Amino acid sequence: MELPPKIWFRLQRLKKSLRSAFGSKDEVSFETAHRMCPNCRGLIDRSASVCPLCGVSLRSARARSGTGSGRVLGLIPVPSTASSAVIAITIALYGITWYMTQSAAAATLSPAPSFGGISGNTLVRFGAKFGPAIVFGHQWWRLVTAIFLHGGLLHIGFNLWCLFDLGPIVESLFSTTKFILIYLVTGVAGFLLSFWLRTLSMVPSVGASGAILGLIGILIAASFHHGSLGKAYRSQLWRWVIYIFVFSLLPGVDLAAHVGGFVSGMALGYIIPEGEPASRSEENVWNALAVLSVLVIAGSFALMALHLGQAVR
């Protein structure tokens, strides 16, 4: 029995994501050869200007986003677009906070944290989730900036490893505009739950783990739409969840942020449709939401910079 074009298209997309996740060397790119007609949802040639199935005129195909652009040393998938931007911001902020930590330690003639650690004072200055500052200073932007900060080399290394694998998969499966919203919402949801449970905690909390668990959550939810193939993929994702939550039991790890990110990701997986927007109006909505998400992130960092300048003076 032949599968409907829409179902077959989704299965092929998920297969490609699986190949990317587990390092398949298959070089045939389904994404670059075909696309889905936004009118009849049929699978057609990517270069077609008219759908051969329903006759509707089509716009020129956009370059696919969110897929890996190759592998470093044949091992590490290199993400593009939104994933690259998130990784670049994360690495840049880690470098800046590490430098500030070293400078502060040298100025006070005290030892700097080992293993590339970042001091708590530096993390708070650069936008960590810090309950007293949120409650008494109304600095809600910390729920955003904290997503891009990390407390040490192992912390950022593990999160970037996960993001290198999961980011391109979510971008490919859902689209770049949806990825931006998903990453922001799940990251904020994680820190919001953490703040609610430990409102006046004097321990700052940072990291992309909540957003990363959000990516895992949305992939698990989406896998339920793909039958036996989705079930096999889901078992792999649940292993990620188990490993991360076991790690979350260690002292100093923000378990609440992990739970909040994962639960919000699962919820979004049942709400947000896969693939590129199917119509012009839907595309406009997602573009607007993505722009709004970028503005929220940029605005949060602008407020962090203003607060940092005030702290310096």
Catalytic residues: 209, 258
SS3 per-residue string spanning 186-245? HHHHHHHHHHHHCCCCCCCECCCHHHHHHHHHHHHHHHCCCHHHHHHHHHHHHHHHHHHH
SS3 per-residue string spanning 49-112? CECCCCCCECCCCCCCCCCCCCEECCCEECCCHHHHHHHHHHHHHHHHHHHHHHHHHHHCCCCC
CA 135 to chain centre: 27
Which residues lie across from 45 on neighbouring strands? 34
Lookup: tokens for 49? 């200007």
Which residues lie across from 72 on neighbouring strands? 76
Q: Tokens 């990825």: give the residue.
A: 179
